[in-house]
Amino acid sequence: MHGNKMILAIDVGNTNISCGVYDGKELVTTFRLMSRQAHTSDEYGVLFSELLHMNKVDKRAIDGTVVASVVPNVMHALNGALVRYIGKHHLAVGPGVKTGIKITTDNPREIGADRIVDAVAGYELYGGPVLVLDFGTATTYDLVTADGCFCAGITAPGIRISARALWEDTARLPEIEIKKPKSILAQETVSSMQAGLVYGQIGQTEYIVNQVKKETGYNDLKVVATGGLGRIIADETDVIQIYNSQLTLEGLRIIYEKNS
């Protein structure tokens, strides 16, 4: 048997379910499912069994599973599937789970599990004070102090939400690919929307990060970003120091280790 623990980490977002298999600290494979489509626990069981098999992971070698979910109706079926089809130590991130950070906001229970996981990863991997940005369905900014207190969170519409609002609420604007156009001085519809969305997000990011620094006085604040569209933004601004596409999965691994 391998000395390392093999764990399956699952992040259930509003759009996608992102999964990673860790052998110790090494991420050996990742795969994704859509979370908008409802499945029974048996369907999830089959999907996970198949996906693990296709990614050359022996289901029996998995020592445990850890899940963070912001989608309650997916959670029930998914937990059932993992308990029944994987059948090893199973951890769902929520109240009562050891995270290594203290939540000092007004209502700790309303903080989404994904944000806690991101904050844990940012703090454990890079130290505090750290501001963790996640460019997902929403764009979130979460602040963890030097002594590990999750003390503030900012939530804005994600880039895709803003894009969808543009093309659903206007008769003539098309669905577009989200990327930075060559210039902000756009001269036709598609690059005009791209300019507004991407430069708008860059501007928002810089303003919010600078405002957080101003109000906290943390001049040594580390700024870490993750999330699908985060790379586009991280590449375009100096306020983000680190982009880590696997931050949420790393956080799940860290939390699993703290609880096993």
pLDDT tens figures, 230-251? 999 999 999 999 999 999 999 9
pLDDT at 71: 87
* Shared domain check, 86 and 139: no
Q: What is the mean pLDDT of residues 136-165?
A: 94
Q: Mean pLDDT throughout 113-128?
A: 97
Are residues 107 and 81 part of one domain?
A: no
Taking 90 as the threshold, does the pLDDT of residue 166 lie above it? no
* HEC string for the chain: CCCCCEEEEEEECCCEEEEEEEECCEEEEEEEEECCCCCCHHHHHHHHHHHHHHCCCCHHHCCEEEEEECCHHHHHHHHHHHHHHHCCEEEECCCCCCCCCEECCCCHHHCCHHHHHHHHHHHHHHCCCEEEEEECCEEEEEEECCCCEEEEEEEEECHHHHHHHHHHHCCCCCCCCCCCCCCCCCCCHHHHHHHHHHHHHHHHHHHHHHHHHHHHCCCCCEEEEECCCHHHHHCCCCCCCEECCCHHHHHHHHHHHHHC
Q: Which of 23, 58, 63, 114 is catalytic?
A: 114
Q: Are residues 135 and 80 in the same domain?
A: no
Q: Residue 95: is the preceding peptide bond cis (ω within 30°)?
A: no
pLDDT at 108 over 90: no
Output the pLDDT for position 1: 46
Q: What is the pLDDT of residue 2?
A: 52
Quick one: 215 exposed, middle or buried, by C-beta within 10 A (0-12, 13-18, 19+)? exposed
Question: Does one domain contain both 161 and 187?
Answer: yes
Tell whether 126 is covered by a domain. yes
117 and 227 share a domain?
A: yes
CATH code: domain of residue 35: 3.30.420.40
Do 113 and 239 sit in the same domain of this protein?
yes
Domain that holds residue 179: 102-251
What amino acid occupies position 90?
H
Quick one: which of 79, 63, 64, 61 has its CA closest to 17?
79
Q: Report whether pLDDT(198) > 50.
A: yes
- The pTM assigned to this predicted structure is 0.92
- Both 149 and 211 in a single domain? yes
- Report residue 24's pLDDT band, with 50, 70 and 90 as the boundaries: very high
- Say which residue, 108 or 68, is predicted with more confidence: 68
Supply the pLDDT for residue 27: 97
Domain boundary among 92, 121, 149: 92
pLDDT, mean of residues 90-105: 93
Whether residues 70 and 163 fall in one domain: no
Residues 64 and 158 in one domain: no
Q: What average pLDDT does the structure give for the chain?
A: 93
- Average pLDDT on 181-208 reads 94
- pLDDT one-digit tens code per residue, 34-81: 887 889 999 999 999 999 999 999 999 999 999 999 888 888 899 999
Active site residue 134: no
Give yes or no: residues 149 and 86 share one domain.
no
Looking at the fold, whether 131 and 177 belong to one and the same domain comes out as: yes
**% of residues, the chain, pLDDT over 70:** 99
Which of 68, 212, 237, 227 lies closest to 133 in space, CA to CA? 227
116 shares its domain with 77: no
- Of 92, 118, 148, the one marking the end of a domain is 92
Average pLDDT of the segment spanning 20-32? 96
Q: How many other CB atoms sit within 10 Å of the CB of residue 186?
A: 16
Mean pLDDT of 16-26: 95
